[in-house]
Amino acid sequence: MRTTPNVKWLLCLAILIGTSFSVGQEAPTHEIVRFYFPVGVAGPLATVVGQMADEFNKTHPNITVEAIYSGGYTETLQRAVVGARGGNPPDLAIIRPSETWSAIGFGLLLSIDDFIEAEGGDAFLEPFVDAFLEDTYIRGQHWGLPFQKSTPILYYNIDHFVEAGLDPENPPADWESLRAAAAALTVTSGSDVQRWGIEMSTSDGWLHSALGLQQGGVYQNLDGTETFIDSEPYVEALEFMVALVRDDGSMPASRDYGSSAADFVAGKTAMMYNSPGSLAFVAEGARFNWAVAPLPAGNERASPTGGGSMVMFAGGSPGRKQAAWEFMKWMTSPEQAVKWTVLSGYLPFRSDILDDAQMLAYFEELPQAQQALDALEWARPRDPRTFAAGEVEAGTTDAIESALAGTSSAREALREAQRLAERALAPYR
Amino acid sequence: MTKPRPLLGYLFVLPSLLFFALFTYYPVVQSSWASLRQSVPFQPGTRFVGLDNFAEMFSNPLFHKVLKNSLVFSFSSVALSVTLGLLLALMLNRTTRLSGFFRFAIFYPNIIPIVAGAMVWVFLFSPTFGPINYVLGVLGLPSGTDWLGSTPYAMVSIIVVAVWKYCGFYMLLFLAGLQSIDDQLYEAALIEGATSSQRFWNITFPLLSPTTFFVLLIAIVDSFRAVDQVFVMTGGGPANSTNVLLFYIYQTGFVFWNTGYASAISVFLFSVLLSMTWLYFRLLNRRVHYAS
C-alpha cells in the first residue's frame, strides 16, 4: 500500500504535536498527589469526590491528583498505613480524628502548621467550625483540615408524637423528658415490641461519648495518654442507656447506624440518635412527617463531632507536599465546601458559607438539614482523643454491649474498658 | 530402563513450590520474625522485644475469651456440619429422580462467596424485618430475638451459617466415599439377614473411616479459618462474644495496629493447626481401615 504525501505530512505533524504536548506535561515542576478517600455513607459520593479532583486537575496544570476511593474509614486507614510502612505512603487521606492520633503515634503524618502559617495563620483558620478544627489539633499542632463532618442529632417521627399526645414543636430537650417520651412512644404486643420509643447505635462509642459529655465528662488527658472511661459522667451515661433498654424497654439493646435509620424509615422506632449523614436516606424513604433537633441535654448540652478530616502523610519531596497542600486548600475552600455540603449531606465545615445562595436553596429543599445545624452550637471534638484510639474505643464499645445485655453493671463494664485502655496506652506513657 | 532424572522431577514441582514459598513459607517466616518485635511510639520502625508478645498473649483475658469462643465455634460447627453432611450423604446416596437436584441444592452454598451469603443471612436474622423472626411469630413462638446482637444467639447464628456453608461440601466428600464401597458387601450382608443398622455400623462406617478422618481434618482447619461471616455479621460482637482467633488477629493487626502482638497470635494459630495436621496424619496411618 502506498501512502500519499498528504498522509505522511499529517503523520509528521501529529508526532510533532504529540511530542510537544508530552514535553509540556513532563515539565520538572509537575507533581503527582495521591489522595485516599473513604465514603462513610453512600456509594454515589465516591463519584462526587472524583469529579472534584478532576476539576482541580483541569484548573491546576502542574498538579495531578489521583483520587483513590478506598472503602470505609477503616479500610482507608489500612491502605494508607500499609502503604506508608511499605515505603509508599499516600500524600493525603481522609481519616477519622481518632485515627489521626494513631497515625501520629506511628510517626506517619506531617503537621500542616507551616502551610497554615504561610497562608496567614489564624486568619486562614478563622472560618472553619472550631470543634471540627480541634479534632485534628493534637499536641499543639494542626494535622488536618475538616472535610466530611457531622455531629449526632435527634430524629423524630412527628406523626408518632401526635399519636402519643406529645408536642412535636417541643422535642425532648433533656434526658428526663427523652426518657418519658420514649416510654410513651413505645408500642408493645405481648412480649414483643412493635415500635421502639428510641434507638441509639451501639456499634461504636460515639453516642455513649455524647451522653458522657452531656454530664460534663472528660474522656482523656490532653496528651492522649491517659483515659477516664470509668469516671462518674461516663458511668451515668451508660446507666442512662441501661435504664432505657432494661428498665423501660423503650430502646433495643443493639443497633448500628444503618439499621436504626432503616427502622426509623419503616416506622419501627419513633426516635433515633443518628448522624446527619442519614438525612438523605430518611428524606428519601420516610412516608411520614419528621424533624430533627439537637440532642437533649444532660447536665449540659454537648454533641461530639464525627466524620473525617483530610490529613497529610510524611514522605515525598517538599514540592510534592506543597502540591498536596494546594489540593487540601482548594478542597476546603468556600466554593468547594458549598458544593460538597449540598451534594453529600454532611454538615458545613466552614461558617462563612451558610449565607451562600446555593446553601440557602439546599436548606429550602431539605429544612431538616438546616435544623441539624443547631447542634453545631454545642459541638465538641470527638473522643477518644488518644493514641491506640482504635483499641481504646473498642473497649468502650464492648462495655456498652455487655452493660446493655445485662451481663455486667455499667460501672463494672466501664472499669474493664478502662483497664484495657491503660494496657493499650502503656507504651505511650 | 532409563536413568532417573531428578532435575525433571524438581522442575515439575517448581511452580507449586514457588507459590508455596511466596505465599506460605515466606509469610510464616516473616510473621515469626515480627512476633518478636514491637512498634516504637512516634516512629515508623520496630524494636526487638523477645517473647514479650507471647507473654502478653497468655496474660490477656481477651485472648482467653477469644480462644474459648474459637473452641466453642469449632467444636459445634464441625460436629454439626460433619454429622449433617454424613446423614445427607446417606440419604442421597441412592439415585432417585430428585437426588441430583437435592445434591446440588445442598452443595450450592459452598460455591457462592461466603461474604455474599453472610449478607443474606444478616437480612434473614434482622430482628425487625427478618423472615426468621417473622416465621417464628406466625408460629406463635417468641419473635423478638435480636439474633446477631445478643449473647448467646450471635454465636448460634454464625455457627448456623458455618453449617449451612460447609455441610454440602462434606456431603459431597462422603458421597464419593460411599460410592467407593463395594456393593457386593451389602449384597452378602443382605443374604446373611443383616438389619440396616448392622449394615451401617459393620460395613459403611468402618469402610468410610478414611473419608471421615479426612473430612474431620479439613472441617477443623476450615472452622479455624472461618472469619468472613464474623466480619460481615457481628464484627466479633456483642462484647466479643463472637470474636474468634482469626478475627482477633485481623482486629489486632489491622484495626489496632499492634502488628507484633497480632503476629504472635498468628504464630500460635499456625502451630496449633500444624500440630493438629501432624497428629491426624499419624492417626490416619495407624487406625483407619482401608478397603482394598
- Over residues A93-123, the pLDDT tens digits come to 999 999 999 999 888 999 999 999 999 999 9
Q: Does A409 touch chain B (CB under 8 A)?
A: no
Determine whether the interchain pair B144/A394 forms a contact, defined as Cβ–Cβ distance below 8 Å. no
CA distance A265 to chain B (A): 12
Tens-digit pLDDT profile for residues B210-231: 899 889 988 998 899 888 999 9
Scanning every residue of chain B, which has its alpha carbon at the shortest distance from the alpha carbon of A399?
B239
When comparing pLDDT for A92 and B44, which is higher?
Answer: A92
Rg (CA), chain A: 25
Q: Specify the pLDDT at position B93.
A: 87
- CB-CB neighbors (< 8 A) of A105 in chain B: 41-42
Strands A31-37 and A63-69: parallel
Confidence of residue B286 (pLDDT cuts 50, 70, 90): low
Q: Is the pLDDT of residue A330 over 50?
A: yes
pLDDT of residue A133: 96
DSSP string, A260-328: HHHHHHTTSEEEEEE-GGGHHHHHHH--S-EEEEPPPBSSS--EE-EEEEEEEBS-S-HHHHHHHHHHH
Give the residue on B whose Cα is nearest the Cα of A392: B256
Q: Is the pLDDT of residue A20 over 50?
A: no
Nearest CA in chain A to B149: A254
Q: What pLDDT does residue A158 have?
A: 98
Check CB contact of A406 with chain B, cutoff 8 Å.
no
| C-alpha atoms less than 13 angstroms from C-alpha of A31 in its C-beta half-sphere | 19
A26/B119 Cα distance (integer angstroms): 47
**What is the distance in angstroms between the Cα of A195 and the nearest Cα belonging to chain B?**
9
A141-142 and A379-380 as β-strands: parallel, antiparallel, unpaired? unpaired
Residue at grid coordinates 508530552: A22
Residue from A85, A86, A81, A60 nearest A70 by CA = A81
B26 membership: H or E segment, kind and range: helix B26-34
Chain B hits for A259, CB-CB cut-off 8 Å, are 126, 128
Q: Which of A2-11, A319-328, B223-232 has the highest mean predicted lDDT (pLDDT)?
A: A319-328
- Shortest distance, CA A306 to any CA of chain B (angstroms): 18
A388 by Cβ neighbours in 10 Å (0-12 / 13-18 / 19+) ranks as buried
* Per-residue pLDDT, B145: 86
Tell me how many residue pairs between chain A and chain B have CB atoms under 8 A apart: 85
- Cα separation, A119 vs A325, in Å, equals 11
Per CB-CB distance under 8 Å, the chain B contacts of A272 are none
Using a CB-CB cut-off of 8 Å, the residues of chain B touching A254 are 146, 148-150, 237-238
Whole-number Å distance between alpha carbons of A75 and A95: 10
The rounded percent of chain B whose pLDDT value lies above 90 is 55
| pLDDT of A40 | 61
Question: Which residue, among B257, B261, B263, would best test binding to A if mutated, counting the most A CBs under 10 Å from its CB?
Answer: B257
Per-residue confidence (pLDDT) for residue A104, from 0 to 100: 92
- Gap from B196 CA to chain A (nearest CA, Å): 47
Which of A233, A238, A193, A235 is CA-nearest to residue A215?
A: A233
- Say yes or no to pLDDT of A1 above 80: no
Determine the pLDDT at residue A25.
46
The Cβ of residue B285 has, within 10 Å, a number of other Cβ atoms equal to 8
pLDDT at residue A19, as a whole number:
46
- Residue B2 has a pLDDT of 64
- A69 at the B interface (CB within 8 A)? no
- 3-class DSSP state for residue B94? coil
Residue A26: pLDDT over 60 = no
Q: Which helix (H) or strand (E) holds A389?
A: helix A389-405
* Interchain CB contact of A266 with B (< 8 Å): yes
Task: Determine the residue among A223, A256, A259, A415 to mutate to test chain B binding: the one whose Cβ has the most chain B Cβ atoms within 10 Å.
Answer: A259
State the pLDDT at residue A3.
46
The residue of chain B nearest to residue A252, with distances taken between CA atoms, is B146
Q: What is the pLDDT of residue A41?
A: 52
Interface contact A427-B38, CB threshold 8 A: yes
Residues 6+ positions from A63 with CB-CB distance below 8 Å: A30, A31, A32, A33, A56, A57, A323, A326, A327
In chain B, which residues touch A (CB < 8 A)? 38-39, 41-44, 60, 62, 126-129, 137, 142-144, 146, 148-151, 235, 237-240, 251, 254-258
Residue B279 confidence (pLDDT) above 60: yes
Calpha distance A159→B234 (Å, rounded): 33
Q: What angle do CA B276, B38, A225 make, to 5 degrees?
A: 125
Q: Which of B30, B125, B128, B155 to mutate to test the interface with A (most CBs of A within 10 A)?
A: B128
Distances (CA, A) of B156 to A193, B130, B134: 23, 16, 18
Q: Is the minimum CB–CB distance between A407 and chain B shorter than 8 Å?
A: yes
Q: Kindly tell me if the per-residue pLDDT of A383 is higher than 80.
A: yes
Give the pLDDT of residue A18: 47
Cross-chain residue pair A108–B257, CB shorter than 8 Å = no
> In the prediction, which pLDDT does A16 show?
47
- Residue range A395-424: average pLDDT? 94
Residue A65's pLDDT is what?
Answer: 96
Who wins on pLDDT, B96 or A11?
A: B96
Q: pLDDT of A213-268, one tens digit each?
A: 999 999 999 999 999 999 999 999 999 999 999 999 999 999 989 899 999 999 99
The secondary element (H helix, E strand) that includes residue B278 is helix B259-287
Give ipTM to 2 decimals: 0.81
Contacts of residue B26, defined as CB under 8 A and 6 or more positions apart, other chains included, come to: none
| A398 with B237: Cβ contact below 8 A | yes
Average pLDDT, chain A: 91
d(CA A71, CA B214): 39
Q: Check CB contact under 8 Å for B129 and A268.
A: yes
Comparison of pLDDT for A114 and A190, the residue scoring more: A114
